[in-house]
Structure 1
Amino acid sequence: MKIAVMGAGAVGCYFGALLAKAGHELVMIGRAAHVEAMNARGLLLERAPAPSYVLVTASALPEAVAGAELVLVCVKSADTEAASKAMRAYLAPEAVIVSLQNGVGNAQGLAAVLGRPVLPAGVYLAAEMAGPGHVRHNGRGELVLGQGPGVEALAVLLREAAIPTTISADVEAVLWTKLVLNCAYNAISAMTQAPYGQIVAVAEVETLIRNVVAECEAVAAACGVSLPRGQAETVLAAAQGMAGQLSSTAQDLMRGRRTEIEYLNGHIVRLGVAQGIPTPVNQALLAVVKVLETRVGEA
């Protein structure tokens, strides 16, 4: 099958590499430096037990999605609308579109612009781009798909590529659960430039994380989202499988790029205002990361 990855960063490169290793034809659409490296020598997947190069095609142009039967959208949340418009004219009529993005509402945003169904997916992966065309796996790597056309066949395809995949009848709760995890860790990791394992090793951080989670739970409930019980314990335990991972927000700041903080803690803050629910801890994390973004912009 021909598969296109729109937004070939850490998430797209990791899952794209596994799909290519399973024999699929992969086209990776991303930044020029990554495109040049992948076309020159392949995509370097650094993963136990040993690193390996994977043969893919790479392009910086959105029209490279043409002819793909499956399109994995992995762009930043802020780029959802622009990416949708850029690739809309080139999508094959039968292509299955999947959103592998942080935050909630991205699949709906894609569908609104594309005028076709988009499958939402919860992504649980610790990975980073360690250099041009070089993705490093730091832990986990499973997907949770929402219901929609073609989802059963897609789940089989992903599992055959050694990607643990489940289908959820309530993907909104899954996406919110991932949002809570990101709200708890991303900003703290960005502010401290520390990986998850180092963060939770500090005793005082547990209270901070519990307060973040409590605000997220209150906002979710007000929005009619039913989260699984024990969110705080789930979030704290998640660090064990991603101990060496710097958050994507921390990685963005390191590379001088804008972060997705407005779609993480910022999303909780905005919904809290709309619902009349105070979110002071999420507000504080949002504010500090935005200050750090300003400093990066001045560098």
Structure 2
Amino acid sequence: MLKTGHTKIAVMGAGAVGCYNGGMLARAGHEVVLIGRPAHVQAIQAQGLLLQTQSFTERVAVAASTEPSAVQGAQWVLFCVKSTDTESAARAMAPHLDPGAIVLSLQNGVDNAERLQALLPQHLVLPAVVYVAAEMAGPGHVLHRGRGELVLAPSPASADIAATLQAAGIPTQVSDDVARALWSKLVLNCAYNPLSALTQLSYGEIVLSPDLPVAQVMDDIVRECLVVARASGVELPENLYDSVRQLAASMPTQTSSTAQDLARGRRSEIDHLNGFIVRRGAALGLDTPVNRLLHTLVRLLEKRVVQNG
């Protein structure tokens, strides 16, 4: 087991992303508390976090709580709640944050750090881009299927944070171009998340459909996203089309977080993915019919599964 210097870290929103990163940090010897849903918290309190990765499977001893007040005393907070819950979770934890606490937004979408900073003006909020294929395979059990890198925005604290994460086995870099990276990841999510959610298929199963024009549909999604990004002042690389196609090769068995949410009868983040592109496009006078259709279909499916869940 890895051992490093000691940092006190709270994970607000201990789902797959939060449990994976929090578990890796706890395994490296840091004092971590996972703040999440009762079923996961109870399992972790009873048996530890079952961290199943591509290179090891281990039960990690880590504190867990259902209460936002558990952020008290933390030097860092890994903020991993769904984009739909950003404001409510920020308000819940705000009274309990230590004055010097740093908040890292490990979330999908491009505007969560801004929304957090508006509610936590006394704290340093750092956007981070998360590239990890993980899911909660059961209460207190996180299954890591691939990747795991983080990209942090620059700040006086970022180099030390990155070094700590690296030492815990989480590949991390600091980049001046996090906004572009967040938009690039948004495009990947817009291409895969709704298709995986609507079909409940993995990324590999989606792209390995030679009798269907899946590649053309994905190209249409990407094209709309690139137009909206450019009009928003963000120039994304043209090879993003290739990046979208290649993602399935690196995560063939992964289903999207949107698919996982709907499978559990929960609201998804689709409003902050394809829905964000639709809203931003409309504000800029741009039509985004493919993203609009996918957003609408997922919301309709979400309405049914949440009502029945």
TM-score over 0.5 for the pair: yes
What's the CA shift for 1:228?
Answer: 2.2
Partner of 1:93: 99
Partner of 2:26: 20
Query: Which of 62, 67, 73 is the equivalent residue of 2:68?
Result: 62
Partner of 1:221: 230
Query: Which of 153, 161, 177 is the equivalent residue of 1:154?
Result: 161
Displaced runs of 4+ in structure 1, greater than 4 A? Answer: none
Partner of 1:32: 38
Q: Give the number of aligned pairs.
A: 299
What's the CA shift for 1:170?
Answer: 1.3
Question: Does 1:212 find its partner at 2:221?
Answer: yes
1:26 alignment partner, SS class: strand
What's the CA shift for 1:148?
Answer: 2.1
Distance between the aligned counterparts of 2:187 and 2:55, measured in 1? 31
2:50 alignment partner, SS class: strand
1:118 alignment partner, SS class: strand
What's the CA shift for 1:47?
Answer: 1.1
Distance between the aligned counterparts of 2:189 and 2:38, measured in 1? 28
Question: Does 1:201 find its partner at 2:208?
Answer: yes
Partner amino acid for 2:292?
Answer: Q
Distance between the aligned counterparts of 2:12 and 2:156, measured in 1? 20
What's the CA shift for 1:95?
Answer: 1.3
Distance between the aligned counterparts of 2:307 and 2:66, measured in 1? 27
- Taking a change above 3 Å as real, the CA distance of residues 54 and 108 of structure 1, as seen in their structure-2 partners, is same
Partner amino acid for 1:97?
Answer: V
Distance between the aligned counterparts of 2:306 and 2:162, measured in 1? 41
Query: Which of 129, 137, 140 is the equivalent residue of 1:133?
Result: 140
Partner amino acid for 2:116?
Answer: L
Query: Which of 50, 59, 63 is the equivalent residue of 2:56?
Result: 50
Indicate the larger mover: 210-219 or 162-171: 162-171
Distance between the aligned counterparts of 1:239 and 1:146, measured in 2? 27
Give TM-score scaled by structure 1 length.
Answer: 0.98
Once the two structures are superposed, residues 227-246 of structure 1 have per-residue CA deviations (whole angstroms, 9 ceiling, x without a partner) of 12311101110111111001
What's the CA shift for 1:253?
Answer: 0.4
Distance between the aligned counterparts of 2:72 and 2:110, measured in 1? 27
What's the CA shift for 1:45?
Answer: 0.5
1:217-256 → structure 2 map (5 Å cutoff): 217-256=226-265
Partner of 1:261: 270
What's the CA shift for 1:297?
Answer: 2.6
Once the two structures are superposed, residues 123-162 of structure 1 have per-residue CA deviations (whole angstroms, 9 ceiling, x without a partner) of 0110000000000001111001112231111010010011
Once the two structures are superposed, residues 168-192 of structure 1 have per-residue CA deviations (whole angstroms, 9 ceiling, x without a partner) of 1111101000100000000000001
Once the two structures are superposed, residues 61-89 of structure 1 have per-residue CA deviations (whole angstroms, 9 ceiling, x without a partner) of 00000000111000011111111111111
Would you say the 8 A contact 2:54–2:145 is kept in 1?
no
Q: Give the share of equivalent positions with the same residue, in percent.
A: 56
Indicate the larger mover: 287-296 or 212-221: 287-296
Distance between the aligned counterparts of 1:75 and 1:257, measured in 2? 13
Query: Which of 168, 178, 189 is the equivalent residue of 1:171?
Result: 178
Distance between the aligned counterparts of 2:119 and 2:110, measured in 1? 16
Question: Does 1:81 find its partner at 2:87?
Answer: yes
Distance between the aligned counterparts of 1:65 and 1:240, measured in 2? 38
Partner of 2:4: none
What's the CA shift for 1:167?
Answer: 1.0
Distance between the aligned counterparts of 1:267 and 1:156, measured in 2? 33
Gaps of 5+ in 1: none
Distance between the aligned counterparts of 2:280 and 2:176, measured in 1? 24
Distance between the aligned counterparts of 1:177 and 1:98, measured in 2? 19
What's the CA shift for 1:295?
Answer: 1.1
Once the two structures are superposed, residues 203-254 of structure 1 have per-residue CA deviations (whole angstroms, 9 ceiling, x without a partner) of 3210010110000000000000111231110111011111100100000000
Indicate the larger mover: 198-207 or 176-185: 198-207
2:124 alignment partner, SS class: coil
Question: Does 1:188 find its partner at 2:195?
Answer: yes
Backbone CA RMSD of aligned residues: 0.8
What's the CA shift for 1:294?
Answer: 1.3
Gaps of 5+ in 2: 1-6
Partner of 2:3: none
Partner amino acid for 2:285?
Answer: G
